[in-house]
Amino acid sequence: MLSLLLACTTAAALTSAVEAQPVPNNPVHVRTIAWSIFGVDQTVRVTSNDDRPWELSLENAPDVWLRSIVGPFFSTVEFNDADANGEHHTAQIVTRIDSAIAFDLVNWIDHSRQSGPVLAQLLSGPRCSMEAACETEAPQWPEQPQCPSLEAIESWDGGMMELSRMLVDTGCFTDAQVGIQASAFWIDGWDGESVTLAVQREHCLDADAASCRGEVSFVSMNPPKSWRPWLSDAKERHGHLPRLAPAPAEPTEEPTEAPAAPPTERPLPSLAQR
């Protein structure tokens, strides 16, 4: 009887000890991403967890988020403490280009005559956090008579900086609305024709810059032809495309009404009008 009692007591104690041990509820997963740069194989080890499986961190630097790997373009999000005056973002996209060939995003946009469409997307699309949590409502378009229409900006085929200055001079937009950090972007996705970039904004919408973790806007554009083999490889998981851009809103059916009068076209101000 005594031996039976001791056995039961021991079993109960062991069961309690097992139950008392903490059970990991958020296991860390490690995997290796492989790609090549001009025929040279590359690898990086990243970690993720079940709560946020899309959020990859570098294994050797857990506070650095991986964003994209496309050929020589390696983009991450790095975090910093704001200075005493809150003069810089506390989250910054860092894009390393492992190539002797330099790439300037604004120069490419200008050279390929995409300044108007890209700036129109920056002005009409939502601002998003580094985690790709985006505003639920699109920005309101200014209705003042001197303000150009979205269609007029889309049709612009000049330089991006010139267009930005013109828009600020009209008083319809601010530097914070048109400004981007051209060297801070990640390559988010590719549909075989156009590429989606997440471009970091120059200014935060929040007036308190010290609390700003960095904001991005997603824009679609035609990539350089030299990117296409790298994009194809990344799409086939020889590299990494995060695909964090919000899906386009589904069109809604509206009740049939009498055709509305065509909107009044508001062209861009000419250089002579400035």
The DSSP line for 206-266 is: SS-GGG---EEEEEEEPPPGGGHHHHHHHHTTSSB----SPPPPPP------PPPPPPPP-
Rounded to two decimals, the pTM is 0.80
Task: Give me the pLDDT at residue 207, please.
Answer: 54
Q: What is the pLDDT of residues 105-140, one digit of tens each?
A: 999 999 999 999 999 999 999 989 888 889 888 888
Task: Give me the pLDDT at residue 41, please.
Answer: 95
Task: Give me the pLDDT at residue 274, please.
Answer: 41
Task: Give me the pLDDT at residue 211, please.
Answer: 58
Residues of the chain with pLDDT under 50: 1-2, 4-10, 13-18, 271-274
Pairwise CA distance, residues 50 & 40, whole Å: 32
Task: Give me the pLDDT at residue 228, please.
Answer: 96
Task: Give me the pLDDT at residue 5, please.
Answer: 41
Pairwise CA distance, residues 209 & 70, whole Å: 31
Task: Give me the pLDDT at residue 101, please.
Answer: 76
Question: Do 76 and 92 form a contact (C-beta atoms < 8 A)?
Answer: no
Task: Give me the pLDDT at residue 2, please.
Answer: 41
Average pLDDT along the chain = 83
